[in-house]
Amino acid sequence: MVLKIVHTEGESNTSDARQTWLKKSIGPKSEPLLKRDSDVFLHQSLSSPCVSTIAKAEGIWIEDMDGRRFMDFHGNSVHHIGYGHPRLIKAIKDQLDDLPFAPRRFTNDPAVALAEKLAKIAPGDLGKTLFTTGGSDANEVALKIARAATGRFKTVSFWDAFHGAGMGAASVGGEATFRSHIAGPLLPGAEHVAPFACYRCPYNHAGPDVCGLACAKMVDYVLEREGDVAAVIAEPMRAVPYVPPPGFWAAVRDACNRRGALLIMDEIPTGLGKTGRMFAFDHDGVIPDIVTIGKALGGGILPIAACIARRDLDVCGDFAIGHYTHEKNPVTARAALTTIEIIEDEGLVERSAELGQHAMQTLQDRLADCPIVGDIRGRGLMFGVEIVEDRADKTPGNAKAEKIYYACLEAGLSFKISQGCVLTLSPPLTIARADLDQALDIVVTAIKAAA
């Protein structure tokens, strides 16, 4: 396995901080594998070239081939229950012995049990499911359902959003790095509006009575003007992270109802307890028409995602909307079902809420007077620290953020930088409080040193 340290827009693969890390930290066992990796894999932004290796992954820890250990506060959002949970590994092994594969035309108990479980934990009438191997495909399925159910083809989504790397998912997404390289037109009818970003709004912290939720009103305005929008697709809490203002999703839900558009919530990074609720939209008192989940659904071991729709949206029986080879794979289904059971049995949703509140309060208390900290925000165990050059004008501090990142990596903590300057921290829900405090101390120390 290869540890791909995540890069963001604005972070250079040849920066001084990166080169210093490479010279100091790559051991003799890791270097040959890094060379082999670079020679055989197609290179792409955000994951190439790699800067270290992985030999072991257990709990919150990853370890490279030279014995360096890192607390993993990124994990591509798959490690809600930590790496290598023994209960999950046993369940997968048992399923391999029992039934290793099922062609999609033949049903099997683990797949049906998983679909039933998702219908049970999803609110409202979200009771019909289709499984895919990745979140991008789950969002593509959701878009197809919306077109079939409404007879419309347009969508409204947000700039800076991420919904996957497939052509349709990249079209409704708004991250430049997933769109700028595509020659020719993207999916037609993919309209975008500015995302909610209260910290950078002139009415920041004034409340919805003062700002009037202009961000939500823009969604309504576009729905009205276009007139033929099939769906609004969005992340309920942006994984940057950005938390929506109070009342935002209620206003968008109302606009969708009035304009005849469906609401699709992409919970691929935020679902299954990461934000302190089973689904991030639970914080906002709304229920979407379709929700997609993935990443952590496979327990940090196997790839599986799901599109969960209202029962009355089961309207595609006469044609194929997914048709995936591993649509009802019993092994991935068993992994997902066991993962959900672990989250429930170990009280990890409640644990995420409790530890997340502790982490946010710790960062706010210890960084209250730090001049390069622009904002501290998040929900549950998905939180971030925005680094700025100047608090007054909120100038992004990309270079400082990168310096902080490599200092933390050197101290044994891995995470990602979002939007060039946001230290995005997303540990497993199983993390011990002492380990969380150690990680927070590493972050605070690195930020103060950079200031």
pLDDT at residue 19 in the model:
73
Hey, CA dihedral for 373, 374, 379, 381, is it positive or negative? negative
Chain centroid to CA 214: 25
Alpha-carbon gap, residue 224 to 230, rounded angstroms: 12
Q: Residues 393-407: what's their mean pLDDT?
A: 93
pLDDT at residue 202 in the model:
64
Task: Using pLDDT thresholds of 50, 70 and 90, give the confidence band for residue 416.
Answer: very high
Residue 200: both structure tokens together: 């950078």
Q: Is the pLDDT of residue 210 over 70?
A: no
Q: Is the pLDDT of residue 13 over 70?
A: no
Cβ–Cβ < 8 Å for 229, 152: yes
pLDDT at residue 204 in the model:
56
Percent of the chain with pLDDT over 90: 80
pLDDT averaged over every residue in the chain: 92
pLDDT at residue 23 in the model:
77
pLDDT at residue 274 in the model:
98
Q: Is the pLDDT of residue 12 over 70?
A: no
pLDDT at residue 17 in the model:
74
**Sequence-ordered list of residues with C-beta below 8 angstroms from that of 163, at least 6 positions apart, any chain:** 135, 136, 139, 157, 169, 170, 172, 173, 233, 235, 266
pLDDT at residue 109 in the model:
98
pLDDT at residue 8 in the model:
41
Alpha-carbon gap, residue 78 to 89, rounded angstroms: 15
pLDDT at residue 52 in the model:
87
Hey, CA dihedral for 361, 363, 364, 369, is it positive or negative? positive
Q: Residues 153-178: what's their mean pLDDT?
A: 91
Percent of the chain with pLDDT over 70: 94
Task: Using pLDDT thresholds of 50, 70 and 90, give the confidence band for residue 11.
Answer: very low
Nearest to residue 70, comparing CAs of 54, 93, 92, 81? 54
Q: Residues 83-138: pLDDT tens digits?
A: 999 999 999 999 999 999 999 899 999 999 999 999 999 999 999 999 999 999 99
Alpha-carbon gap, residue 309 to 26, rounded angstroms: 47
Q: Residues 389-407: what's their mean pLDDT?
A: 92
Q: Is the pLDDT of residue 319 over 70?
A: yes
**Sequence-ordered list of residues with C-beta below 8 angstroms from that of 77, at least 6 positions apart, any chain:** 239, 268, 269, 274, 295, 296, 426
Cβ–Cβ < 8 Å for 173, 179: yes
Alpha-carbon gap, residue 36 to 111, rounded angstroms: 38
Q: Residues 426-451: pLDDT tens digits?
A: 999 999 999 999 999 999 999 999 99
Q: Residues 314-330: what's their mean pLDDT?
A: 94
Task: Using pLDDT thresholds of 50, 70 and 90, give the confidence band for residue 79.
Answer: very high
pLDDT at residue 203 in the model:
61
pLDDT at residue 206 in the model:
57
CA distances from 213 to 162, 167, 229, 277 (A): 23, 31, 21, 24
Q: Is the pLDDT of residue 2 over 50?
A: no
Model pTM score = 0.94
Cβ–Cβ < 8 Å for 78, 295: yes
Hey, CA dihedral for 125, 128, 134, 135, is it positive or negative? negative
Q: Residues 4-31: what's their mean pLDDT?
A: 66
Q: For 327, which DSSP code? A: T
In the chain, what are the domains?
Answer: 16-81+348-450 (3.90.1150.10), 86-345 (3.40.640.10)
Q: Is the pLDDT of residue 313 over 60?
A: yes
**Strand-pair partners of 156:** 191, 232
Q: Residues 300-304: what's their mean pLDDT?
A: 98
